[in-house]
Amino acid sequence: MIALFVKSPRFLDTTLRDGEQTPGVSLKPDDKLNIATLLSDIGVSVIEVGSAVASDGERESLRLISDAGLAAEICTFVRGVQLDIDYAADYGAESVHLVIPVSDLHIEKKLRKDREYVTQMAWDSVEYAKERGLIVELSGEDASRADQAYLYDLYAGGVERGADRICFCDTVGVMTPERASEIIPPLAALAPLSIHCHNDLGLGLATTLSAMKSGASCAHATVNGLGERAGNTPLEELVMSLEVLYGVKTGIRTDELYHLSTLVSRLTRVPLPTNKAIVGEMAFTHESGIHAHGILRDAATYEPIMPEMVGRRRRILLGKHSGSASVEAALSEMGYKTETRQLQEIVSRVKQLGDEGKRVTDSDLHAIAEAVLDISCTPVIRMKQFTTVSGNSVMPTASVTLTVNGEDITQASTGAGPVDAVIMALRKAVQDVGDITLEEYHVDAIYGGTDALVDVTVKLMKDGELITSRGARTDIIMASVEAMISGMNRLLREKDENRGKNTH
């Protein structure tokens, strides 16, 4: 009887092979090394580095990663062809993912061969790979649509000839979790078995979990679920499901999952869906009044895991769904204290902005609070104008004109980009009234599209006081300026202003 979930499951990450087959994705060798290094560092057992036979760039990537001294086993995809196996061995792979078509559809339509030919090809390739000193994972392509008796015999013969592992590929994502629980146990009794699922019908994760519960000791996955068509089983979702729902210790450093996800998204140029589980922008973001209220009292009310578990942080946005609790929490963070009637009025105005289709920024909330609390407070800084210039042959430059304590000040600066330049110019313009340092800059697109609303968060420090400020516009430079001006005003206000204790 095979135990439910092995004690120490293994993960073969195929982001650099199957993930790179996502249309439009092409990674340079250095990019592949960066991803492989982080995958190894977080505890992934095996990294599949492309297909060495495909190109010079793929062979360079394999050599580069094989020579990097990573803890993970370095694997490469091969067909049942001696040339593929030779390239794998010659360029430093420790193991091969030997993929053999096993369904009659693939055998007859793609290869135009018969079962006997494919069986012999598989067994001969296993023997040759072992002669070349490679660990062999014998993989059945389109296994979920294959004759299972034929598949069993092919695997069994491969194991007899030296295959170290076998892999069941649900190549077009048609296997159900229920069927996996029937098919996997007898195959897993032959040798350590991996499960490789695609997500064409949205069942990749569920089927992978079912296979692992039924005896599979290793799962193939990709970061962010990258892959052809609808992609593969997402590594981050699989790891957290095992850890949280089934209590399986995966050995993966989960607090690095978000870092890994954003690195892969940036290097592949495939943006994360905003509502994607675990790593999507909205995964730990709340606006609804009831939800935000519950979260502020106990995060477990509306979050299955703490965001810190995956290297993230919680965000509460203000809009038409916001309730008193979330607005009060935001006001408190800014230093405002309100009576019940004042809070109700502020909430009403926040909702009004939300009904107009706007997202309420820190600057908006400041303005609303100061109006409702009747605080007589003249901003230290007012923006009069700014310009930025950048291009492929122009050093990014920005000039700003601010009114600082009633005096117009103009400053200019260059930077690594237009945002960097305008932030440098703003800091120079206020240096006579306060030395403000930018401690952190973060930008998010709230939704997709070229007109995406951009949310900029800055952390500014003056004399040991650290504050967070935000700006939200469709223009990233405008959003950055808004966040900086709002934050600098808060830091530069007189100490005796006492805005947070108004009791009008």
> Tell me, what's the pLDDT at 495?
42
Q: Is the pLDDT assigned to residue 187 strictly greater than 50? A: yes
Backbone angles phi, psi at 358, to 5 degrees: -100, 150
User: For residue 504, is pLDDT > 70?
Assistant: no
Third-level CATH fold of 10-268:
TIM Barrel (3.20.20)
What pLDDT is attached to residue 2? 41
pLDDT of 41 above 70? yes
> What is the per-residue pLDDT for 293?
52
* Distance separating alpha carbons of residues 225 and 452, to the nearest angstrom: 23
pLDDT band for position 334 (50/70/90)?
A: confident
How much is the pLDDT for 496? 37
Q: Which amino acid is at 405?
A: N
Residue where the block lists tokens 């897993």: 188
Please say if the pLDDT value at position 315 is more than 70.
Answer: no
Model pLDDT, residue 443: 85
Average pLDDT over the chain, rounded to an integer:
88
Residues 217, 10: Cα–Cα separation, whole Å: 6
Residue 242 pLDDT: 97
Please give the pLDDT value at position 263: 95
pLDDT of residue 139: 98
What average pLDDT does the segment 7-24 reach? Answer: 95
Q: Which residues contact 295 (CB under 8 A, 6 or more apart)?
A: 286, 301, 302, 303, 314, 316
- Give the least confident one: 60-64, 218-222, 385-389, 498-502: 498-502
Name which of 3, 5, 1 is nearest 219 in CA terms.
5
* CA 13/CA 10 separation, integer angstroms: 10
The whole-number average pLDDT for the span 1-12 is 76
| DSSP, res 311 | T
Percentage of the chain exceeding pLDDT 70: 88
Answer yes or no: is pLDDT of 60 > 80: yes
pLDDT band at 174 (very low <50, low <70, confident <90, very high): very high
Q: Which residues contact 32 (CB under 8 A, 6 or more apart)?
A: 16, 49, 50, 61, 64, 65
- pLDDT at residue 14, as a whole number: 98
What integer is the mean pLDDT of 391-407? 90
State the pLDDT at residue 414. Answer: 95
- Measured distance CA(121)–CA(130) in Å, rounded: 14
d(CA 482, CA 388): 15
Place of tokens 């869906």: 273
| Phi then psi dihedrals of residue 204, to 5 deg | -55, -50
Find the mean pLDDT for residues 135-149: 98
Helices (H) and strands (E) in the chain, counts: 16, 16
Percent of the chain with pLDDT over 90: 63
Angle among Cα 213, 246, 227 to the nearest 5 degrees reads: 65
Q: Is the pLDDT of residue 367 over 90?
A: no
Query: Which position has the higher pLDDT, 244 or 457?
Result: 244
**How many Å apart are CA 93 and CA 63, to the nearest integer?**
8
Q: Is the dihedral of CA 429, 431, 434, 435 positive or negative?
A: positive
Q: What is the pTM of this model?
A: 0.72
Question: What pLDDT does 192 receive?
Answer: 98
Reading the block at residue 157, the tokens are 């013969």
Residues 126-132 have a mean pLDDT of: 98
Per residue in 452-490, pLDDT (tens digit) is 667 788 899 888 888 888 777 778 898 899 889 888 888
- Residues in the chain, total: 504
At 484-502, the pLDDT tens digits run: 988 888 888 754 344 444 4
Whether the CB-CB separation of 188 and 2 falls below 8 Å is answered with yes
Q: Which amino acid is at 303?
A: E
Q: How far apart are CA 181 and CA 387, in angstroms?
A: 63
pLDDT at 463: 85
For the record, the structure tokens of 393 come out as: 């042959």
The token duo for 180 is 């996996």
Q: Is the pLDDT of residue 142 over 70?
A: yes
Among candidate residues 251, 181, 190, 176, the one with its CA nearest the CA of residue 212: 181
Same fold yes or no, 10-268 and 381-499: no
| Section 36-44 average pLDDT | 98
Per DSSP, helices labelled H in 438-500 are 476-492
285-297 per-position pLDDT tens digit = 765 544 445 555 5
Backbone angles phi, psi at 335, to 5 degrees: 100, 10
Task: Give the mean model confidence (pLDDT) for residues 30-36.
Answer: 97
At 381 the pLDDT is 87
Domain boundaries, the chain: 10-268, 285-372, 381-499
Distance of CA 114 to the CA centre of its chain: 43
- The closest alpha carbon to 82, from 46, 121, 54, belongs to 121
Q: Tell me how far apart the alpha carbons of residues 432 and 153 are, in angstroms, rounded to a whole number.
A: 81
Q: Left if phi > 0, otherwise alpha if psi is -120 to 50, otherwise beta: which for 227?
A: left
pLDDT value at 232 more than 90: yes
The answer to whether the CB of 45 falls within 8 A of the CB of 14 is no
Residues 108-117: what's their mean pLDDT?
95
What tokens does 365 get?
């909330």
User: Do residues 147 and 119 lie in contact, with contact meaning Cβ atoms separated by under 8 Å?
Assistant: no
| 430-457 pLDDT per residue, tens | 988 888 999 989 887 655 555 566 778 8
Q: What is the secondary structure of 373-422 as a DSSP string? A: TT-----SEEEEEEEEEEETTEEEEEEEEEEETTEEEEEEEE-SSHHHHH
What fold, for 381-499? Answer: Double Stranded RNA Binding Domain (3.30.160)
**195 or 340, greater pLDDT:** 195
Contact 101, 118 (CB under 8 A): yes
Is 254 within 8 Å of 284 (Cβ atoms)? no
The reported pLDDT for the residue numbered 445 is 63
* Distance (Å, whole) CA 337 – CA 489: 19
Q: Show Cβ contacts of residue 435 under 8 Å, excluding neighbours closer than 6 positions.
A: 462
